[in-house]
Amino acid sequence: MTVQFNDQFLKACKREQIDHVPVWYMRQAGRSQPEYRELKKKYSLEEITHRPETCAWVTKLPVDQYNNDAAILYKDIMTPLPAMGVDVEIKKGIGPVIGNPVRNLDDVKRLTSIQPEQDVDFVLETIKILRTQLNVPLISFSGAPFTLASYMIEGGPSKNYNKTKAMMYSQPEAWNLLMEKLGDMVVTYVKSQIKAGAQAIQIFDSWVGALNREDYRTYIKPVMEKIFSQLRGEGVPLIMFGVGARHLTMDWHDLPLDVVGLDWRYPIQEARADGITKAVQGNLDPCVLMAPWSVIEEKAKHIIDQGIKQPGFIFNLGHGVFPEIDPAVLKRLTSFVHEYSAEKLAQINR
């Protein structure tokens, strides 16, 4: 028996009529799943991503378990950087650590371009496998230039991005060349993923909220315009997401993209009142998932009620799933969002 393809997520991205609000969760693949934890006893993140069959299994597992409306490819935003000459190691309990930080113009000049079919062939093969296995859309992604640069310059995770901002302010030639090279990489990398079969793309600018609006417009927005303009013709929905970036969302809204991702700090009704008319995605605080079910249900209802007032809403968390979250809660939440929103939308669409 052929299972019908679930296109609710793609319809919501395009602001088309839907039967229920589609659901997926950032970092839904891995993290809190016991099957994934067992796998991690044998393989590192890098080893999993370099094994396409295994990586496809990890990506598909939450869709099978939670009945989500989209899958997101299991990989890391740092995945393409080694091909540029960046020495990256994902250290447990720390995150990405860079062995050769970028600190000046000469360091930037040494960065090379990527050849996806050679450098990230394992990513493309995983996408091709998943397209034969999934009955929901496959989302793939890339890190955005600022967030990637912050790791490359700081040498790893940072709380204040002092070195990154110092280069941005004091070495304009190095900064502009770094943005150019990273922007070109993102376009090349994303296009290869779409060609392999990715049906939507999310750009993660996780840490760009550290910048004020004026600096964002001066130092970052031009490369984001370039990226989204060059991806616009690829025919797949484009999503933007960052953390603590409420003050930048109208600038994202100006970009040629389809969906504005909201973190948990920015209520959907306020985003709409501020002028966001594109599809929105979000934005339950993932910490709420540690609360009693009555609290989770109340918070989810409030978000859904706000989201469905205008066409184009995708239910998600305001940031990623973390390891302590019970997978059974995610499954129950998905069912609740489907059932509650279907009932509400049926009333609206009568």
Q: Dihedrals φ, ψ of 279, to 5°?
A: -60, 145
For residue range 255-307, list pLDDT tens digits in order: 999 999 999 999 999 999 999 999 999 999 999 999 999 999 999 999 999 99
State how far the Cα of 254 lies from the Cα of 256, in Å rounded to an integer.
7
**DSSP type of residue 117:** H
pLDDT band at 137 (very low <50, low <70, confident <90, very high): very high
State how far the Cα of 155 lies from the Cα of 115, in Å rounded to an integer.
24
State how far the Cα of 161 lies from the Cα of 150, in Å rounded to an integer.
7
**Nearest C-alpha neighbor of 277 from the set 297, 304, 252:** 252
Q: Which two tokens stand for residue 303?
A: 């978000």
Q: Which two tokens stand for residue 68?
A: 């989500």
Q: pTM higher than 0.75 for the full model?
A: yes
**Looking at beta carbons, which pairs linking 48-53 to residues 24 or more positions away fall under 8 Å?**
48/74, 49/74, 49/75, 49/76, 49/79, 49/122, 49/123, 49/126, 50/122, 51/122, 52/122, 52/125, 52/126, 52/129, 53/129
Q: Which two tokens stand for residue 182?
A: 């990273």
Question: Above 90 in pLDDT, residue 93?
Answer: no
pLDDT band at 2 (very low <50, low <70, confident <90, very high): low
The stretch 234-254 carries a mean pLDDT of: 97
Q: Provide the phi-psi class of 103: left if phi over 0, else alpha when psi is between -120 and 50, else beta.
A: alpha
Are the C-beta atoms of residues 64 and 73 closer than 8 Å to each other? Answer: no
**Nearest C-alpha neighbor of 136 from the set 218, 53, 24, 211:** 24
For residue range 310-344, list pLDDT tens digits in order: 999 999 999 999 999 999 999 999 999 999 999 99
State the pLDDT at residue 52. Answer: 98
For residue range 71-91, list pLDDT tens digits in order: 999 999 999 999 999 999 888
For residue range 26-68, list pLDDT tens digits in order: 999 988 899 999 999 999 999 999 999 999 999 999 999 999 9
Are the C-beta atoms of residues 288 and 253 closer than 8 Å to each other? Answer: no
For residue range 172-227, list pLDDT tens digits in order: 999 999 999 999 999 999 999 999 999 999 999 999 999 999 999 999 999 999 99
Share of the chain above pLDDT 90, in %: 93
Alpha carbon 105 to its chain's center: 29
The stretch 99-114 carries a mean pLDDT of: 97
pLDDT band at 349 (very low <50, low <70, confident <90, very high): confident
Q: Dihedrals φ, ψ of 141, to 5°?
A: -160, 170
Which secondary-structure segment (H or E) carries 181?
helix 172-196
Q: Dihedrals φ, ψ of 334, to 5°?
A: -60, -45
For residue range 247-267, list pLDDT tens digits in order: 999 999 999 999 999 999 999
Question: Above 60 in pLDDT, residue 1?
Answer: no
State how far the Cα of 238 lies from the Cα of 257, in Å rounded to an integer.
5
Q: Dihedrals φ, ψ of 99, to 5°?
A: -80, -25
